[in-house]
Structure 1
């Protein structure tokens, strides 16, 4: 029996990059062959399979911003590659990857599984942009492609708002390999031992300025620090966040780190008192999954992705968006109630092991791939 060949198309940054690498490093290499088509300026790290063998990859002019020239060239180049490689399936990840893949799928009649990792129309509060992005998603949903959601919330939104029929959807929750070792930091530690942490570039999605407001409220009564990890790609609100830190006199209470290695990120999460997120939307956030794997309770905003992972009074708290008072009160509660913190820590690890251990869940994705080829 020949291997099932899958072409992955994506803009490989952040959680989207993590997602694909977790799949490639765990999928059965005896029955599946993978190739990767990704951006020419997104990652320099080779893609590898579970046997640490390099996976064939191609670079395309895939960039976050819309560009008629680059996007057209990416489609043309991707079309040539797909015709040459003749995959059985295309699996697209991210918005731009999804647009390119579904156009290619329409032209070549190769079936496309599309994982948005959060729909593009959620990325703006500007009404015209939001309507335009949603319209594009609606148009692309009418083809032969199948929506492969990364969370229950994403699946529900795909059906209720984008207009996918339930028969054209599937679900594979984001998952990671169990974290068996924490490495020493490769960067200097400039923050105190008692700290909260969060991962993500300062931007509209991550709503980082709300976390700064929460820190201001917290430090009225508590001595606590925030380590903000991940300033790098597309941190378009970095200056806003930095100015707010200065305005609220929090320079000694907030550490903002540039994008660093995953080993460093895991080290910082593992030593934190809590993981926090004020995101306006997510697909199914890998940093939260990693915190659960490391037995760290969470206080997060009640948005897509966050609410799929964090259950109130079980492994953390979900708080209404921009409710600064409630957010800070829940953090204080977990910092002060040791028994509750211990219980949530135990339940965090249980949540990971039951639902987000890719060693146990990769068979589900393999079954989806096989099912879509019938």
Structure 2
């Protein structure tokens, strides 16, 4: 029997979020085949360690030093030699330095890199980072991006030639979608329309803009409620904004929820106001569950949402609120957009297609 390939997944994530879910989704499936996975994560979140341990995956936790996790780099080098690693797959920009430098000690090991997002809030930092990235890109055999827009941007910036970049969009495990059942968790909204957002409460996601959208919609006296799932450093800002705008009866902060997918199944509309994204899980989940989407017009959203067909995209807060009001008034429109979103998900983002592409990557 052919020896299994030893693959090391390397990434930084301060708290359990999208990258852990992304890595976990294909590791869980492909570990049943001829692949042996190991994971190094720079984090303080014990939930990430338990997540992989429950799968039976070898997981190693490193101190969460952003960009320069020296102990994480040492651990990667040790594991490469201990397990005779065939492929190191580095994820996210925060891991680019400590995840790639081990290549200098393991020239025969293949290195792949998935940045997930390629944007910075500080444009000067972004420009400087891309200059450095060009050098580190020489250490990666392949760069994996989530959308054609990301690929075009990296080629344009000279990070890597077109042939060295592969597009593999995220997806959601089929069993998770099948298990998303409606419950009574959001009992307050049973007699009202529900607009749901699932996000980390950080500046990238522009959570305060959600409150601005809710304020405009609620002024129209619609019997609707906004639910915001997620935690993060801006929770206090969100609570104050809701109180100042008098929206405590209409906007509810649910905090981190393990059952977020079940909540999406109950929602009437999904809303995202993020400033930048890679390929957001929440929107993919909404598409898989046939939900119309209202979102900011950014690359990560534009790749998923067909404006006017599966949802609405806009740059302005007022237009986002207007799109929600339009959908709230028209149930048949909500259902039709949700149906088209589901069709698009199955045609272009199915989990089986995602796994086939990951399998093809690791068999290069």
Provide the TM-score with structure 1 as the length reference. Answer: 0.88
After superposition, the C-alpha distances for 1:204-234 in whole angstroms (9 at most, x for unaligned) are 2101111111111111112321111111xxx
SS of residue in 2 equivalent to 1:305? helix
Give the structure 2 partner of residue 79 of structure 1.
77
Cα distance in 2 for partners of 1:79, 1:62 equals 17
After superposition, the C-alpha distances for 1:340-360 in whole angstroms (9 at most, x for unaligned) are 212111111112211222124
In the alignment of these two chains, the number of paired residues is 354
Which of 129, 133, 142 pairs up with 1:133?
129
Tell me whether 147-156 or 301-310 shows the greater mean CA deviation.
147-156
Give the structure 2 partner of residue 318 of structure 1.
313
Structure 2 vs 1, CA of residues 189 and 123 (structure 1 numbering), >3 Å: closer, same or farther?
farther
After superposition, the C-alpha distances for 1:145-197 in whole angstroms (9 at most, x for unaligned) are 42101222222222223622112111111011221123565967555542100
Is the Cα–Cα contact under 8 Å of residues 309 and 340 in structure 2 kept in the other structure? Answer: yes
Which of 138, 143, 153 pairs up with 2:139?
143
Which of 269, 278, 287 pairs up with 2:273?
278
Instruction: Give yes or no for the alignment of 1:342 onto 2:322.
Output: no
Cα distance in 2 for partners of 1:220, 1:187 equals 26
Which of 23, 26, 34 pairs up with 1:23?
26
Instruction: Give yes or no for the alignment of 1:296 onto 2:298.
Output: no
SS of residue in 2 equivalent to 1:47? helix
Cα distance in 1 for partners of 2:41, 2:103 equals 16
Which residues in structure 2 correspond to 1:183-202 (within 5 Å)?
183=181, 189=187, 193-202=192-201
Cα distance in 1 for partners of 2:157, 2:189 equals 43
SS of residue in 1 equivalent to 2:52? coil
Give the structure 1 partner of residue 350 of structure 2.
357
Cα distance in 2 for partners of 1:11, 1:350 equals 34
Instruction: Give yes or no for the alignment of 1:113 onto 2:106.
Output: no
Is the Cα–Cα contact under 8 Å of residues 147 and 168 in structure 1 kept in the other structure? Answer: yes
Q: CA deviation at 1:267?
A: 1.4
Structure 2 vs 1, CA of residues 314 and 54 (structure 1 numbering), >3 Å: closer, same or farther?
same
Cα distance in 2 for partners of 1:326, 1:250 equals 20
Is the Cα–Cα contact under 8 Å of residues 12 and 64 in structure 2 kept in the other structure? Answer: yes
Give the structure 2 partner of residue 6 of structure 1.
7
After superposition, the C-alpha distances for 1:9-34 in whole angstroms (9 at most, x for unaligned) are 11243110110111012226332221
Cα distance in 1 for partners of 2:348, 2:210 equals 28
Structure 2 vs 1, CA of residues 46 and 217 (structure 1 numbering), >3 Å: closer, same or farther?
closer
Q: CA deviation at 1:239?
A: 2.6
Instruction: Give yes or no for the alignment of 1:47 onto 2:27.
Output: no
Which residues in structure 2 correspond to 1:189-338 (within 5 Å)?
189=187, 193-221=192-220, 222-231=222-231, 235-261=232-258, 264-320=259-315, 323-338=316-331
Cα distance in 2 for partners of 1:239, 1:134 equals 33
In structure 2, list runs of 5 or more residues that go unmatched.
none
Give the structure 1 partner of residue 360 of structure 2.
367
Tell me whether 342-351 or 162-171 shows the greater mean CA deviation.
162-171
Tell me whether 302-311 or 185-194 shows the greater mean CA deviation.
185-194
Is the Cα–Cα contact under 8 Å of residues 78 and 104 in structure 1 kept in the other structure? Answer: yes
Give the structure 1 partner of residue 62 of structure 2.
60
SS of residue in 2 equivalent to 1:123? coil
Structure 2 vs 1, CA of residues 318 and 184 (structure 1 numbering), >3 Å: closer, same or farther?
closer
RMSD of Structure 2 on Structure 1 (CA): 2.2
Q: CA deviation at 1:143?
A: 2.6
Tell me whether 325-334 or 22-31 shows the greater mean CA deviation.
22-31
SS of residue in 2 equivalent to 1:239? helix
